[in-house]
Structure 1
Amino acid sequence: MSDSSAIAAFRSVTTATITTILLKRGLRNVWMRGLVPLAPGQERLVGRAFTLRFVPAREDLATPESWSSPTSTRAAIEAMPEGCIAVVDAMGVTDAGIFGDILCARMGKRGVTALVTDGVVRDVAGVMGTRLPVWCAGVAAPPSVAGLTFVGWQEPVGCGGVAIFPDDLIVVDDDGAVVIPAAIVEEVKDACLEQERLEAWLMSEVDKGVPLPGLYPPNAETRARYEKSRGS
């Protein structure tokens, strides 16, 4: 399955549906805690994870001079491929902004789909002005080096209590951010699309006044009516 077909498919699937389908496959820890869209009304977005990792600040490393280091957020941004979703492990630190408007503007110029982090951003008005979609834990004025040390990119990270590996598929919408392991994207896609079709039909039944017992979850009779409605 090409990335373009996966991305097109998951743009029509809610993160709520994805978590349900993954739960049925034994994957419970896929929703990143504490992440909300920075701006209201952002569309659902899908992309491969490009990971970045911070550790606690250490005074000899977390300095403004570190921003010019070969291992820096600036260098990581220049390595981001078009269409990726940047997933930043900020360890849940909420008093040091990992990115501001200039870095977000550069990400937008590189065609990055979105920024997802369990940390916070700074220069919030400027960040929103870049129109880079952001899911984060809030905003803070101090720079990243006030509380964090950047250590690398494209390695496994934890974000919002969830393990994220490079190239996992990330889906974000109003309910937050969800990861789909790269190895099962196709099977999850098919199951999610079917679940969305079923739930749309169930909603139409609710609109007709059908009571919930036996409808949701559907019993054998309801399933048969659903299949008949599809011409199966």
Structure 2
Amino acid sequence: MALSAEAIATLKTVSTATLTTVLLKKGLRNVWIRGAVPLKPGQPCIVGPAFTLRFVPAREDLATPASWASPISTRAAIEAMPEGCVAVVDAMGVTDAGIFGDILCARMQKRGVAALVTDGVIRDLAGVLDTNLPVWCRGVAAPPSVAGLTFVAWQQPIGCGGVAVFPDDIIVVDQDG
């Protein structure tokens, strides 16, 4: 069920610190994605439905530059992302291979993706910042994802930063994560 514009506007006024406390009081303890911090200070609060992506450890026969053109690729997943979604990417906390760089972030921005949230890292920092796509991540690394990860699926349940995220879960991100 999609949130109303009023509900989204209300959520944008509530900090994630407050939301985690409210959810804790309702019995939901594990709701804060660990390691996903704002890429740059001052990013706006973003609220939107999760569009999930999942990586697994690299397998050399699958994680190749040729895989970028596969029907199961990050590029294909980005083309399936609806406007206003929050891309939530399970990168298993890997910090030595960037899941997305400036080209893919620019494409997400052009498609109207609201934000990128991952427990992994991005690459091409200057270019990603130039896209103005709000990003929450663990940091930056120069090598591409295929150096340490294999992309396997989108719009399936994932584990990101120790939290179970299902497609269309409502994601709220701010300066606290």
Q: Distance in 2 between matches of 1:128 and 1:77?
A: 18
- Give, in angstroms, the shift of residue 7 of structure 1: 1.3
- SS of the counterpart of 1:128? helix
| Matching of residues 99-118 of structure 1 within 5 Å | 99-118=100-119
1:145-183, Cα deviation, whole Å (9 max, x unpaired): 00000001000001000000000000000100xxxxxxx
1:159 counterpart letter in structure 2: C
- SS of the counterpart of 1:29? coil
Q: Distance in 1 between matches of 2:145 and 2:3?
A: 36
- Give, in angstroms, the shift of residue 141 of structure 1: 0.1
Q: Distance in 2 between matches of 1:146 and 1:41?
A: 31
Give the number of the structure whose residues are more often helix, by fraction. 1
2:130 equivalent to 1:152 = no
- The answer for the alignment partner of 2:135 in structure 1 is 134
Runs of 4+ in structure 1 deviating by more than 4 angstroms, as ranges, are none
Q: Distance in 1 between matches of 2:58 and 2:73?
A: 14
1:8-28, Cα deviation, whole Å (9 max, x unpaired): 110001001100110011111
Q: Distance in 1 between matches of 2:125 and 2:8?
A: 28
Q: Distance in 2 between matches of 1:47 and 1:173?
A: 12
Q: CA RMSD in A?
A: 0.8
- SS of the counterpart of 2:55? strand
2:165 counterpart letter in structure 1: I
- The answer for the alignment partner of 1:173 in structure 2 is 174
- SS of the counterpart of 2:93? coil
- Give, in angstroms, the shift of residue 45 of structure 1: 0.8
Q: Distance in 1 between matches of 2:82 and 2:26?
A: 30
| Matching of residues 54-73 of structure 1 within 5 Å | 54-73=55-74
1:71 counterpart letter in structure 2: I
- The answer for the alignment partner of 1:76 in structure 2 is 77
Q: Distance in 2 between matches of 1:67 and 1:4?
A: 36
- Give, in angstroms, the shift of residue 2 of structure 1: 3.8
Higher gyration radius (CA) = 1
- Give, in angstroms, the shift of residue 96 of structure 1: 0.1
2:8 counterpart letter in structure 1: I
1:96-133, Cα deviation, whole Å (9 max, x unpaired): 00000000000000000000000000000000000000
| Matching of residues 1-232 of structure 1 within 5 Å | 2-176=3-177
TM-score w.r.t. length of structure 1: 0.75
1:124 counterpart letter in structure 2: L
Structure 1 gap segments, 5+ residues each: 177-232
Q: Distance in 1 between matches of 2:6 and 2:154?
A: 26
Structure 2 gap segments, 5+ residues each: none
- Closer/same/farther in 2, CA of residues 8 and 73 from structure 1, 3 Å limit: same
1:74 counterpart letter in structure 2: R
1:15-68, Cα deviation, whole Å (9 max, x unpaired): 011001100111110001111100111111100000000000001000000000
1:100 counterpart letter in structure 2: G
Paired residue total: 176
